[in-house]
């Protein structure tokens, strides 16, 4: 009987486990939290109290893994939102023209999404969810990982496994395990965004015309927000502030902060709405990428997955989508057996992460407030993107190219295709 143990039962762990079902006879998913039957919050995923968009690219991948998931989420109140048909995007200060870009998301609270996936995973053959168990360390034997030590109420136990997957989030346990064994550790790339999220759920008192309003930061004002319809008539108000310009969590401070970036109709709708939860903050100091794909001598029997490998700036809303794409990649790698699995998987994952990381870095470094080296090509690209965003305020082709790219439906290079480039040059000149 082959056995895989996934550490962490958040979106990364659940999606990693899905890839392992049917390949390993048993798949055990361990988390230190109790895993609620309903759609409750839990300590290990504090970000769940903030806006979580699932991009259509990620949703499609999840639908392949769990057929019927999308219909179930919609039946439970999840809201499909077309970008920018029934949503308003204000990026770099420009309101994107309304056009059917083919990009979209599904809007539901994070506990609802995670709960639906967890319930479906738990029903698959060979899967066992093990809540309330703290992972305390790996078992190394003969140069490979052969299991993991877990503990509950101070009682330790070893789970033997042919494969152990670290999906315990951005703190990076696997990295310290390697260091403790005297093995090489991955280099870490980071972008210090010094960001805080502050969010609450509200119920608007009058119907609001868009299902999503997204306002991004601009140079000189590194703040923004999302006002997003969620299941059962609730709306999420999420504010973000980067580079130390952080949203407060008191009532009047929260609204005053919103006034800096919100169009008047959004501000009025939020101010008049009925608060349903407290305002909660979440600190996100830096985007982190651990370069496992560059390591030599990674121990067999271990993989790293999801935020443990790369934790993206969440304002771009891509972490869960990337985890779904990593799950597809893991499944593909396992078709060729588990020989040299880590090297093959990390290489595949890097191909997924590279363009997303670069795109996000470009967005972050467009803000002079964010520290970091800007190469001449970064500066040139950012001048181009600024112009593209300006043109996208009136040009459907430019808007479609940009929105589909940030929605991960096409590679970043597609914003440089001749038809887009021509419009950026001509449209940009017209408005200068
Ligand atoms: C504020 C914020 C907003 C975000 N918004 C979006 C968004 O809009 N769209 C999007 O796609 N992504 C978003 N993300 C990213 C998304 O939350 C993650 O990419 C996603 O949850 C996958 O992460 P993960 O499962 O790898 O790690 P995590 O979600 O961090 O989960 C780690 C899990 O490991 C468990 N764990 C930790 N330590 C132990 C231990 N010692 N023993 C046992 N269990 C342990 C925890 O309980 C938890 O369940 C956002 C992130 C943040 C911070």
* 70 within 8 A of 63, measured Cβ to Cβ: yes
For residue 376, what are its two tokens? 């001449």
Domain range enclosing 205: 190-285
Distance CA(394)–CA(424), nearest Å, equals 11
pLDDT the model gives residue 276: 98
Calculate how far, in angstroms, residue 48's C-alpha sits from the geometric centre of ligand 1: 8
Distance, CA of 423 to chain centre: 31
Across 122-135, average pLDDT: 97
For residue 345, what are its two tokens? 């998987």
Calculate how far, in angstroms, residue 170's C-alpha sits from the geometric centre of ligand 1: 8
Residue 328: closest CA among 25, 60, 26:
60
Distance CA(237)–CA(226), nearest Å, equals 6
Residue 405, SS3?
helix
Across 52-64, average pLDDT: 97
Residues 386-421: pLDDT tens digits? 999 999 999 999 999 999 999 999 999 999 999 999
Residue 1 has pLDDT above 80, yes or no: yes
pLDDT the model gives residue 7: 98
How does residue 431 score in pLDDT terms, banded at 50, 70 and 90?
Answer: low
* Exposed / middle / buried, residue 286 (Cβ in 10 Å: 0-12, 13-18, 19+): middle
Report if residue 262 sits inside a domain. yes
Report if residue 394 sits inside a domain. yes
Distance CA(307)–CA(289), nearest Å, equals 9
The position carrying tokens 């709405």 is: 273
**ipTM value:** 0.99
Report if residue 330 sits inside a domain. yes
Report if residue 71 sits inside a domain. no
Calculate how far, in angstroms, residue 282's C-alpha sits from the geometric centre of ligand 1: 12
Residues with CB under 6 A from ligand 1: 7-13, 30-33, 44-45, 47, 50-53, 134-135, 167-169, 197, 282, 284, 306-308, 314, 317-321, 323
> Which of 9, 16, 18, 52 has most ligand 1 atoms within 8 Å of its beta carbon, as the pocket-test mutant?
52
The position carrying tokens 């999503």 is: 212
Residue 134, SS3?
strand
Same domain, 231 and 331: no
376-391 vs 341-365: helix crossing angle, rounded to 10 = 70
Report if residue 137 sits inside a domain. yes
How does residue 428 score in pLDDT terms, banded at 50, 70 and 90?
Answer: low
Same domain, 198 and 315: no
> Which of 7, 8, 327 has most ligand 1 atoms within 8 Å of its beta carbon, as the pocket-test mutant?
8
Same domain, 273 and 306: no
Residues 13-40: pLDDT tens digits? 999 999 999 999 999 999 999 998 777 8
Residues 282-295: pLDDT tens digits? 999 999 999 999 99
Same domain, 36 and 135: yes
Residues 221-261: pLDDT tens digits? 999 999 999 999 999 999 999 999 999 999 999 999 999 99
Residue 2, SS3?
coil
Same domain, 236 and 172: no
Across 338-359, average pLDDT: 97
Calculate how far, in angstroms, residue 291's C-alpha sits from the geometric centre of ligand 1: 19
Same domain, 215 and 280: yes
- Sorted by sequence, the CB contacts under 8 Å of residue 247 that are 6+ apart come out as 196, 197, 198, 223, 239, 240, 241, 253, 254, 257, 281
* Exposed / middle / buried, residue 296 (Cβ in 10 Å: 0-12, 13-18, 19+): exposed
Across 186-206, average pLDDT: 97
Residue 430 has pLDDT above 90, yes or no: no
Residue 356, SS3?
helix
Task: State the total domains in the chain.
Answer: 3
How does residue 427 score in pLDDT terms, banded at 50, 70 and 90?
Answer: confident
Distance CA(17)–CA(344), nearest Å, equals 18
């Amino acid at each position: 009987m082959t056995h895989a143990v996934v550490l962490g039962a958040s979106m990364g762990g659940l999606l990693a486990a899905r890839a392992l079902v049917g390949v390993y006879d048993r798949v055990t998913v361990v988390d230190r939290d109790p895993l609620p039957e309903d759609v409750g919050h839990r300590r290990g995923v504090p970000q769940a109290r903030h806006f979580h968009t699932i991009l259509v690219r990620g949703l499609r991948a999840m639908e392949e893994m769990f057929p019927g998931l999308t219909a179930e989420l919609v039946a439970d109140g999840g809201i499909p939102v077309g970008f920018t048909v029934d949503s308003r995007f204000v990026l770099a200060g420009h309101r994107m023209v309304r056009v059917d870009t083919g990009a979209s998301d599904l809007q539901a609270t994070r506990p609802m999404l995670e709960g639906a996936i967890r319930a479906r995973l738990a029903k698959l053959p060979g899967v066992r969810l093990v809540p309330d168990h703290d992972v305390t360390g790996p078992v190394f034997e003969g140069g490979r990982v052969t299991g993991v030590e877990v503990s509950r109420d101070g009682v330790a136990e070893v789970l033997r496994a042919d494969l152990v997957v670290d999906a315990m989030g951005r703190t990076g346990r696997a990295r310290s395990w390697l260091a403790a064994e005297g093995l090489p550790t991955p280099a870490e790339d980071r972008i210090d965004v010094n960001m805080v999220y502050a969010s609450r759920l509200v119920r608007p008192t009058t119907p609001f015309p868009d299902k999503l309003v997204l306002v991004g930061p601009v140079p000189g004002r590194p703040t923004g927000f999302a006002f997003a319809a969620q299941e059962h008539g609730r709306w999420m108000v999420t504010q973000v502030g980067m580079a130390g310009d952080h949203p407060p969590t008191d009532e009047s401070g929260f609204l005053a902060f919103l006034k800096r970036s919100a169009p008047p109709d959004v501000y009025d709708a939020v101010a008049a709405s009925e608060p349903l939860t407290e305002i909660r903050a979440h600190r996100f100091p830096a985007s982190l990428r651990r370069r496992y794909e560059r390591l030599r001598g990674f121990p067999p029997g271990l993989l790293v997955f999801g935020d443990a490998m790369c934790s993206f700036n969440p304002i771009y809303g891509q972490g869960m989508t990337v985890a779904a794409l990593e799950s597809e990649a893991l499944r593909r790698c396992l078709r060729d057996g588990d020989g040299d699995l880590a090297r093959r998987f990390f290489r595949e994952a890097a191909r997924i992460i590279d363009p997303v990381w670069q795109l996000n870095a470009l967005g972050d470094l467009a803000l002079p407030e964010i520290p970091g080296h800007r190469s001449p090509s970064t500066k040139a690209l950012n001048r181009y993107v600024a112009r593209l965003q300006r043109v996208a305020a009136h040009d459907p082709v430019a808007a479609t190219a940009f929105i589909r790219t940030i929605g991960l439906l096409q590679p970043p290079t597609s914003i440089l295709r001749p038809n887009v480039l021509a419009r950026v040059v001509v449209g940009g000149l017209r408005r200068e």
